Amino acid sequence: MEFSASQIAILINGKVEGDPEAKVTSFSKIEEAQNGNLAFFANPKYEDFLYSTGASIVIVSDSYELREPVAATLIRVPDAYSAFAILLNKYQQMATQQLIGIQQPSYISSTAKIGEQVYVGAFAYIGEHVKIGNNVKIFPGTFIGDNVSIGDNTILHPGVKVYHDCVVGKSVTIHAGSVIGGDGFGFAPQADGTYKKVPQIGNVVIEDEVEIGSNATIDRATMGSTIVRSGAKLDNLIQIAHNVEVGNHTVIAAQAGVSGSTKIGNHVQIGGQAGIVGHITIADRVLINAQSGVSKSIKESNTAVTGSPASDYTSTLRSQAVARNLPELEKRVWELEKLVQQLVAEKVNVNV
């Protein structure tokens, strides 16, 4: 696909500096771009590449002041990074919209209701009484269990598994290999030391505009629903246990795990490999540092924690700084003790 600078400017509400008819056919990083490529400049450490890039068009922020002439046509926007993300998203939408139809072999139950402009890839399975909205893209090898509902414009990448009774909202993206609605980890200990499985009869509800990375697992509720609220973004390899609630626009990085029945607020940011115990509450806009272990509720919003067990971010960093200085402090204490002993000995000698 070919676009001119003026067409791109309309898409991202930008202002053209240079040739409005400059054409691009692909995207590239600014340091690698060639003629016909579109790039963006947002990070100051790449400033030199703005003046040497071979890109035909570069998206830049309104606030940036040129220090020398630029060969490329510029498109000025309030935020270059956000504008470039919007443009990539529109490009991706154009590419996926071309996918329409049902490939064979695939299985679609006669009781399933399929919307318009839907794509179903080969070897997909769509069970009884499934409801699929308009413009949904279901890639090869996907399993959709009985009574599942999928909203408009949602994309399920290859190998996604959505178990029975789960609800997936509109404009959701679930990447390859993720499992939605597997059984929660519920086992009741018995007197003889064995464990009896507790049936998991709830479901998972994923609200609108959620994105879930590859090989993530979101367990169904024991009763009721495990819920991922609108706008939440989950990275690859994440475990969300039964009856968890993830708040609106919360982001969770890779390899994090959330134990059962924990309630996470809105706009929370959770770093990679963080672990959160069950049956606690995380307030809105909390920042949880990577590899933190959260063992109790965080009730105050707009706070940051780190460490295991996790505690106040600033205090923990101060403690870590003190810990690094312990060898030097020990040496100084030893020297002070030696000096005190010497002074005591001198005083005794004077008195004698």
In the sheet with 263-264, reading across from the earlier edge strand, the strands are 113-114, 131-132, 149-150, 167-168, 203-206, 225-228, 245-246, 263-264, 281-282
Rounded to 5 degrees, what are φ and ψ at 239? -110, 120
Rounded to 5 degrees, what are φ and ψ at 51? -90, -10
Q: Which of 242, 249, 267, 279 is catalytic?
A: 242
Contact 289, 306 (CB under 8 A): yes
Helices then strands, counting H and E runs in the chain, come out as 5, 40
CA dist 185 → 144, 199, 222, 240 (Å)? 21, 10, 9, 11
Is 242 annotated in the active site? yes
Give the residue among 209, 135, 140, 144 at the shortest CA–CA distance from 171.
209
CA distance 50 to 176: 36
State the catalytic residues. Answer: 242
